[in-house]
Amino acid sequence: MALIVKKFGGSSVATTEKILAVAQRILSEKKSDDKIVVVVSAMGKTTDNLIALAGGIDAQPYKGDYLREMDMLLTTGEQVSIALLAMAFKRLGQPAISLTGAQVGMRTNSVHTKGRILGIKPKRVHDELNKGQVVVVAGFQGADKLGDPVTLGRGGSDTSAVALAGALKADECEIFTDVDGVYSADPRIVKNARKMKEITYSEMLEMARLGAGVMQPRSVEMGQFFNMPIHVRSTFTRELGTIIREDYTVEEKDFEIRGVAHDMKVAKISVLGVPNSPGIAHTIFQSLADANISVDMIVQSIRNIDRDINDIVFTINLTDLPEAKKVIAVASEKINAASVLVEEDMAKVSIVGAGMLGSPGFAARMFGALARADVNIDIISTSEISVSCLVRGSQVADAVNSIHDEFFPDR
Amino acid sequence: MALIVKKFGGSSVATTEKILAVAQRILSEKKSDDKIVVVVSAMGKTTDNLIALAGGIDAQPYKGDYLREMDMLLTTGEQVSIALLAMAFKRLGQPAISLTGAQVGMRTNSVHTKGRILGIKPKRVHDELNKGQVVVVAGFQGADKLGDPVTLGRGGSDTSAVALAGALKADECEIFTDVDGVYSADPRIVKNARKMKEITYSEMLEMARLGAGVMQPRSVEMGQFFNMPIHVRSTFTRELGTIIREDYTVEEKDFEIRGVAHDMKVAKISVLGVPNSPGIAHTIFQSLADANISVDMIVQSIRNIDRDINDIVFTINLTDLPEAKKVIAVASEKINAASVLVEEDMAKVSIVGAGMLGSPGFAARMFGALARADVNIDIISTSEISVSCLVRGSQVADAVNSIHDEFFPDR
């Protein structure tokens, strides 16, 4: 007997036909004494449609005191899909019951539309499993201490599933997606990218932070917190995918580098010709922080040592650029900068692997691979388990392929 | 200061424009220290669309173990409209909060899709009202002791509103509909039908039972239970409507007859030539009861006193006719009846009024009016506060107008 939590996203349950197919697949894989919990998202474009509906009340529905009502609105999306999926199981002869986030005891804080899980008391889930029911749970949602519905923000259904698996002490949490696992690089760019059998939580988090879109970081952190293995696999095939876990169990140890990540949504801002005096960097970065803009890579270079003039260069997420331009225009005037240069066509390529910890050769091999591909490196940054290089956006494919060839040579 | 519960149906909140209009209207009528609770149904055709969606899982979604999931599905309809209406109030500068049936403490039994209210603990509603919020409540729904959503069946939103008003000890419950009050007869048939200022719970219940469609009987019973005045009025105008209450407060006492009701959905079944022996009627009506078919009027006439042969004639709701035909075919064979005659084109016209209690003249005046209109009376039945006649369906308009002229002469 195993207790397994399975999560299916919105595209897997976009129509009633697909909902029936999901139920069928789960039953075909279920051993007779398995206990199954299925976490689902809203059907297809439901959430977008609900947001559009709110747009009929106010063109800007995502603000201030609307947010509680947005959660009241959006949580109906998953409530529809759980009801239909539970009916689908019953249609196929399998007893099943649907439960909302509130009903599975998913307690959140009250930060509407971006809630955090505070704890889970899944007594009702155990009760229903013990009655032989497949339990179908609304992802993406919980309830605060008043009992008000709260959504968990982007990737929230994955987070729900992993947290619920943890609280239930499940044997495994399966995340069904439209990709069939975690690859050594984006398969759309690197033809011979390899599907990993296993990857550690830390590596997966670093990959996600550096641009790999398979899993939202919060759900991986949740898996790490509960030490709950997360099996990322395809909705469309029965092949095994990639298991995210604390440590490797099999032979893949020999790849010290676990993956090559890239991020196209990078903008580079150079504040040129600023006086080399205390507080200058503080003025720039505090004003960005006040505007809630995260800064990624930072370089300060002394351009002219005689005249004591600096350049400060940093990168931000491209979506923050319009706001950042305004902020920097004000700040650069205040600090008397000579000029500001904005480059939108930048990208970051990174190598990730717990095996590189304390082994200095990896960065050099990466730079060599970039040189062979004729890719110029703009900025370099490192963490314990990654090295990142800022490059021209137009050179991303060349850069990623060359690095991948270096670390994952064809066998 | 007054505490008022206002209920708006699905057509009043069918679009976001209409939702904004409802919020605007409520605020324009709100005195600054009024406490307002608004109960709403699902937007327009939402419930129908959700039922159609369930039809994609199983063509027959309204059965057995699907019903709990149907409630999980259907309760999302009101949850969408409360969220949007609360946002609309906020858009107009009025603090507001939406609450589901479960959140207002609407406890029901567990008879899914046809739940009954067991009690209401509206502490949260009081709390929010005391903070100055307009409280927007999902009609048609409550939760059972497990916390599972349960819908209240037809007319459930009216019942929610009246019950909540009662539990809150509100000053009044206003039901906004597409008619502007309760009329002395159906205005679509009787040109000079009069809008009543007031009508008693008992009279309204009798009118509803006899075919007047303004209010579902359950909500009127709920008003009677709590002695909560129900003001039935139009969504589209600001005119006062009709107040349903325990007793009259104003000058209308002089109309002993409160209204003329009619019901077109009547089928008449005659079981002819049955032996006049004990147990025959029991066999017929028990078999109908076993099939959950309600019988309305019943006449037993002795056709041939020498040969001891009876005819048993009764009426049922037209929607039950297909099932009733099967049941009667079996029963009539068992009791050795000569034949069964079914007439579908029948209608019932009735006069209703508490003032007729113990005053014998009203029935005679009704029969006279029918005679003047050349309408033949098939069956007559009476209650303490009504007299009903079965007539040909094609003669309903003539019958109702003639009776109305008799009791409500033009002033």
- For the segment B80-94, what is each residue's pLDDT rounded down to a tens digit? 999 999 999 999 999
- Judged against a pLDDT cut of 60, whether residue B268 lies above it is answered with yes
Q: Cβ contacts (< 8 Å) between A54 and chain B: which residues? A: 83-84, 87
**Per-residue pLDDT averaged across B214-218, rounded?**
86
Q: Could you say which residues from 46 to 85 on chain B have a Cβ atom under 8 Å away from some Cβ of chain A?
A: 50, 53-54, 56-58, 61, 65-66, 68-70, 72-73, 75-76, 79-80, 82-84
Give domain status of residue A31, yes or no.
Answer: yes
Neighbours of A358 (CB within 10 A): 6
Same domain, residue pair B172 and B287: no
Q: What pLDDT score was predicted for residue A253? A: 56
Q: Cβ contacts (< 8 Å) between B58 and chain A: which residues? A: 87, 91
- Is the CB of residue A92 less than 8 Å away from at least one CB of chain B? no
Q: What pLDDT score was predicted for residue A172? A: 94
**Per-residue pLDDT averaged across A141-155, rounded?**
94
| CA of B111 vs chain A CAs: smallest distance (Å) | 16
Give domain status of residue A78, yes or no.
Answer: yes
Q: What pLDDT score was predicted for residue A255? A: 67
Same domain, residue pair A17 and A153: yes
- What integer best gives the mean pLDDT of chain A? 92
Same domain, residue pair A171 and A273: no
Which of the residues A73, A81, A99, A104 would you substitute to probe the B interface, choosing the one with the greatest number of B C-beta atoms within 10 Å?
A73
Domain boundary among A157, A177, A197: A177
- Judged against a pLDDT cut of 70, whether residue A223 lies above it is answered with yes
Adjacency order of strands within the sheet including A198-200: A96-99, A134-138, A35-40, A3-8, A172-177, A230-234, A242-245, A198-200
Q: What pLDDT score was predicted for residue A129? A: 98
Q: Cβ contacts (< 8 Å) between B66 and chain A: which residues? A: 87, 90
- Is the CB of residue A33 less than 8 Å away from at least one CB of chain B? no
Considering only CB atoms, B76 lies closest to which of A57, A79, A90, namely A79
Adjacency order of strands within the sheet including B172-177: B96-99, B134-138, B35-40, B3-8, B172-177, B230-234, B242-245, B198-200
Q: How far apart are CA B185 and CA B260, in angstroms?
A: 5
Domain boundary among B159, B177, B195: B177
Q: What pLDDT score was predicted for residue A53? A: 97
Give domain status of residue B138, yes or no.
Answer: yes
Greatest extent of chain B over all pairs of C-alpha atoms, in Å? 82
Give the residue, A295 or A255, on which the prediction is more confident.
Answer: A295
Same domain, residue pair A133 and A37: yes
Same domain, residue pair A267 and A390: yes
pLDDT band at B411 (very low <50, low <70, confident <90, very high): low
Give domain status of residue B15, yes or no.
Answer: yes
- What integer best gives the mean pLDDT of chain B? 92
Between chains, do B79 and A68 touch, taking CB under 8 Å as contact? no
Which of the residues B72, B100, B106 would you substitute to probe the A interface, choosing the one with the greatest number of A C-beta atoms within 10 Å?
B72
Which residues, 6+ apart, have CB-to-CB distance to A397 below 8 Å? A189
Q: What pLDDT score was predicted for residue A146? A: 95
Same domain, residue pair A165 and A314: no
| Among B108-122, B295-309, B346-360, the range of highest mean pLDDT | B108-122
Between chains, do B66 and A90 touch, taking CB under 8 Å as contact? yes
pLDDT band at B357 (very low <50, low <70, confident <90, very high): confident
A378-404 residue pLDDT tens? 999 888 889 999 999 999 999 999 999
Between chains, do B88 and A57 touch, taking CB under 8 Å as contact? yes
- Judged against a pLDDT cut of 70, whether residue A305 lies above it is answered with no
Query: In A250-385, at which residue ranges do the beta strands (DSSP E only) sit?
Result: 259-275, 295-304, 309-317, 339-352, 379-383
**Per-residue pLDDT averaged across A24-43, rounded?**
96
Which of the residues B17, B51, B87 would you substitute to probe the A interface, choosing the one with the greatest number of A C-beta atoms within 10 Å?
B87
Q: What pLDDT score was predicted for residue B252? A: 55
pLDDT band at A262 (very low <50, low <70, confident <90, very high): very high
- Asked whether the CA dihedral A385, A388, A393, A396 is positive or negative, the reply is negative
- Judged against a pLDDT cut of 60, whether residue A334 lies above it is answered with yes
Same domain, residue pair B319 and B172: no
- Judged against a pLDDT cut of 80, whether residue B251 lies above it is answered with no
- Judged against a pLDDT cut of 80, whether residue A358 lies above it is answered with no
Considering only CB atoms, A58 lies closest to which of B53, B72, B91, namely B91
Between chains, do B83 and A70 touch, taking CB under 8 Å as contact? yes
Considering only CB atoms, A80 lies closest to which of B73, B88, B148, namely B73
Domain boundary among B125, B147, B177: B177
3-state secondary structure of B95: coil
**Per-residue pLDDT averaged across B182-202, rounded?**
93
- Is the CB of residue A18 less than 8 Å away from at least one CB of chain B? no
Q: Where are the alpha helices (DSSP H) in A245-386?
A: 280-290, 321-334, 361-372
B372-378 — which CB contacts under 8 Å span 24+ positions? B372/B402, B373/B398, B373/B399, B373/B401, B373/B402, B374/B398, B375/B399, B375/B402, B378/B268, B378/B346
Give domain status of residue A100, yes or no.
Answer: yes
Between chains, do A57 and B148 touch, taking CB under 8 Å as contact? no
Among residues of chain A, what percentage have pLDDT more than 90?
78
**Per-residue pLDDT averaged across A220-227, rounded?**
95
Among residues of chain A, what percentage have pLDDT more than 70?
97
- Judged against a pLDDT cut of 60, whether residue B26 lies above it is answered with yes
Q: How far apart are CA B3 and CA B50, in angstroms?
A: 34
Q: What pLDDT score was predicted for residue A280? A: 86
Q: What pLDDT score was predicted for residue A252? A: 56
Domain count for chain B, please give it: 2
Between chains, do A87 and B56 touch, taking CB under 8 Å as contact? no
Same domain, residue pair B266 and B382: yes
| CA of B14 vs chain A CAs: smallest distance (Å) | 12
Which of A20-29, A116-125, A148-157, B104-113 is predicted with the least confidence, judged by mean pLDDT?
Answer: A148-157
Among chain A residues, the shortest Cα distance to B72 is held by A83
Give the A:B interface size as CB pairs under 8 Å.
104
Give domain status of residue A283, yes or no.
Answer: yes
Between chains, do B87 and A69 touch, taking CB under 8 Å as contact? yes
- Judged against a pLDDT cut of 70, whether residue B403 lies above it is answered with yes
Same domain, residue pair A148 and A278: no
pLDDT band at B53 (very low <50, low <70, confident <90, very high): very high
- Judged against a pLDDT cut of 90, whether residue B249 lies above it is answered with no
**Per-residue pLDDT averaged across B121-127, rounded?**
97
Considering only CB atoms, A69 lies closest to which of B54, B83, B146, namely B83
Between chains, do A97 and B68 touch, taking CB under 8 Å as contact? yes
Distance of CA A180 to the CA centre of its chain: 16
- Is the CB of residue B88 less than 8 Å away from at least one CB of chain A? yes
- Judged against a pLDDT cut of 90, whether residue B97 lies above it is answered with yes
According to DSSP, residue A296 is labeled: E
Which of the residues B73, B100, B113, B127 would you substitute to probe the A interface, choosing the one with the greatest number of A C-beta atoms within 10 Å?
B73
Which of A357-366, B42-51, B270-279 is predicted with the least confidence, judged by mean pLDDT?
Answer: A357-366
- Judged against a pLDDT cut of 60, whether residue B253 lies above it is answered with no
Q: What pLDDT score was predicted for residue B278? A: 81
Q: How far apart are CA A38 and CA A171, in angstroms?
A: 14
User: What is the full DSSP assignment across B130-165?
Assistant: HTTPEEEEETTEEE-TT--EEE--TTHHHHHHHHHH
ipTM for the whole complex: 0.85
Give domain status of residue B201, yes or no.
Answer: no
Q: Cβ contacts (< 8 Å) between B98 and chain A: which residues? A: 69, 72
Give domain status of residue A264, yes or no.
Answer: yes
Q: What pLDDT score was predicted for residue B250? A: 67
What domain range is B126 assigned to? 3-177
Same domain, residue pair A146 and A12: yes
Q: Residue B330 maps to which CATH number?
A: 3.30.2130.10
